[in-house]
Amino acid sequence: MKRLWVNVNPYEKEIAIAALESGAEAVVLPDGQSGAVRQFGKIKTVEAGGDLKPGVDVEFIDISGKADEDRATAVPADKLVVLKMLDWTIIPIENLLARRGGNLIVRVENSEQARLMVEILEKGVDGVLLDTTDVNEIKKTAQIVQGVSERVGLVEATITAVRQLGMGDRACLDTCTQMTLGEGMLVGNTASGFFLVHSESIDNPYVASRPFRVNAGAIHAYAMAPGGKTKYLADLKTGDEVLLVDWQGRSQVAYMGRNKIERRPMMLIEAEADGQPVSLVLQNAETIRLVDPQGKAIAVTSLKPGDKVLAHTTHGGRHFGMKVDESLTER
């Protein structure tokens, strides 16, 4: 997820509050002002006595020529770099993205400059530092920055087998975000294949919709998380980040409210996508749904061999949820 920082130097109470209410990650302050901001809420502060200290955790560099680019590139990769473009040209940013890679934040003056920065070269910089005294511009920039998300490649999978199992523990994931039709989470038995499991955003005669919920499957399964990582369903807990994905591959980051693990009758769904097997153990209930290639939810209890659903496939293995390039067989 892209970072939004807001410059509040010189200090203005209204701007600090607007940054906090807009979901900014951090505010840049005059030295000694962290306490003034923290009385309004929890937010990272950037100043000599703050959470992030200039010269220690983050470097501020003005870019006016090639020598400045070299100086920014030489900063250790694990340290954040905030760039101020003195003539506001795009080429130095493109060069630095290519040379340095990540941990780049660019100082901008408005929401349009912010959009350009977070979308540049498709990947974009890691975030922006907004320098404005316009509260509405802070809100507009927040919407743009927070709306930029990773795109997930989805493929068509053909169901090959559906088999009823016995009882097992399943994880019902309640998030802090309401999902829409065609949206859910990517979950799979293995690290190489995931089904798009639909949210419970559909009403039925027996159970009210719960658009914040995905009945994701058996506790051993992997769920795709932000940044290409995976997490075991059993490990997810309140406050954890999860990745929501819709049928067109658009994603957003959400936060766990709770993980309800309960014993339920289970079933195994198996499919093939791009020559790779995809499988998942899910609760055996008509309210549990996958998603077809047109974005329509399809109940797992009605699935049969030959049906088409959406899936996501990867290559390589996982080590503590991180993707690694190694030979790995999971059955």
State how far the Cα of 27 lies from the Cα of 52, in Å rounded to an integer: 10
Lowest mean pLDDT among 109-118, 173-182, 252-261, 263-272: 109-118
What is the domain-level CATH number for residue 105?
3.20.20.70
**With 0-12 CB in 10 A as exposed, 13-18 as middle and 19+ as buried, what is 266?**
buried
Residue finishing a domain among 113, 147, 181: 147
Which residue reads 């959400």 in tokens?
254
- Verify that 124 and 211 share a domain, yes or no: no
User: Token match 């020559």: residue?
Assistant: 275
Distance, in Å, from the CA atom of 136 to the CA atom of 305, rounded to the nearest integer, reads 53
Is pTM beyond 0.75 here? no
pLDDT digits (tens, 9 = 90+) for 34-93: 999 999 999 999 999 999 999 999 999 998 888 888 888 888 888 999 989 877 666 667
Give the span between the Cα atoms of 312 and 253, in whole angstroms: 17
- Which of 147, 173, 201 is the last residue before a domain boundary? 147
Same domain for 168 and 287: yes
Give a yes or no: residue 143 inside a domain.
yes
Structure confidence by residue, pLDDT tens digits, 257-267: 999 999 999 99
Q: Does the residue 330 lie in any domain?
A: no
Cβ of 169: how many Cβ atoms within 10 Å? 14
In a domain, 331, yes or no: no
Say if residue 114 is in the same domain as residue 236.
no
Same domain, 129 and 241: no
Domain range enclosing 135: 3-147
Is 200 found in the same domain as 126?
no
Report the pLDDT value the prediction gives residue 150, as an integer from 0 to 100: 66
Whether 329 is covered by a domain: the verdict is: no
Indicate which CATH number applies to the domain containing 165: 2.170.16
Residues 82 and 210 in one domain: no
- Tally the domains of the chain: 2
Same domain, 130 and 260: no
Pair (81, 115) in one structural domain:
yes
Tell me, yes or no, whether 71 and 206 share the same domain. no
Boundary residue ending a domain (95, 128, 147): 147
